């Protein structure tokens, strides 16, 4: 009887140990997802050719100060967003939606668009990642970005609903900075785009 009882206790202890390991792993994974890294997918063409519809990417939530779940507070930020960052954020007109655009100017800077040319504080910016469908017919500005906000635009400039239409982005709506593509699928051709997997986003 003594041996059977000891075996029962041993099995129970082993089960408890594995249960604790699994629970700790789940909790850690949830914390990482909530505070450090999160997955997003690209549903539109507004960031072509930097990001394609069907790309799946990881974003660094920690860099801008991740929001702590269930309370109105954020972790300390590593740095503020800077021009050139590809950022994920809650859409100001519908916080249930996540958008992804490129930061082109920060608070205090003046933005102006003339055709295919972007000017920040009167200086033309060289952008080798932009795409134009209609030849860049839209002009904008000059516009000074207010304090606490950034100005974002899609790389596909003629096919992007961005700050030119709905205004500057409140930094409190930032979710993170895009890091790299971990999966990509061409939905029209029903095939995986292996050449995009692992691509660093910049």
Catalytic residue of the set 67, 90, 101, 131: 101
Active site residue 46: yes
Q: What are the angstrom distances between the C-alpha of 6 and each of 2, 9, 19, 133?
A: 6, 5, 20, 75
CB 90 within 8 A of CB 98: yes
Contacts of residue 97, Cβ cutoff 8 Å, sequence gap at least 6:
90, 91
Which of these is catalytic: 46, 160, 163, 184? 46
Q: Which residues are bridge partners to 88 per DSSP? A: 100, 176
Torsions phi, psi of 65, nearest 5? Answer: 90, 95
Tell me, yes or no, if 101 is annotated catalytic: yes
Active site residues: 46, 101
């Amino acid at each position: 009887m003594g041996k059977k009882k000891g075996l029962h206790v041993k099995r129970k202890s082993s089960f408890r140990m594995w249960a604790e390991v699994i629970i700790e792993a789940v909790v850690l994974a949830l914390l990482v997802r909530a505070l450090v890294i999160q997955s997003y997918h690209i549903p539109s063409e507004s960031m072509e050719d930097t990001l394609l519809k069907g790309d799946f990417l990881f974003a660094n939530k920690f860099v801008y100060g991740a929001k702590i779940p269930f309370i109105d507070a954020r972790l300390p930020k590593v740095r503020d967003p800077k021009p050139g960052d590809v950022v994920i954020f809650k859409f100001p007109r519908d916080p249930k939606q996540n958008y992804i655009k490129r930061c082109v100017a920060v608070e205090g800077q003046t933005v102006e668009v003339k055709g295919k040319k972007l000017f920040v504080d009167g200086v033309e910016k060289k952008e080798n990642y932009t795409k134009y469908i209609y030849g860049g017919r839209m002009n904008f500005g000059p516009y000074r970005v207010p304090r606490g906000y950034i100005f974002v635009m899609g790389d596909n400039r003629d096919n992007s609903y961005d700050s030119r239409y709905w205004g500057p982005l409140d930094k409190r709506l930032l979710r993170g900075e895009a890091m790299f593509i971990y999966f990509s699928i061409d939905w029209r051709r029903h095939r995986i785009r292996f050449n995009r997997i692992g691509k660093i986003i910049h």
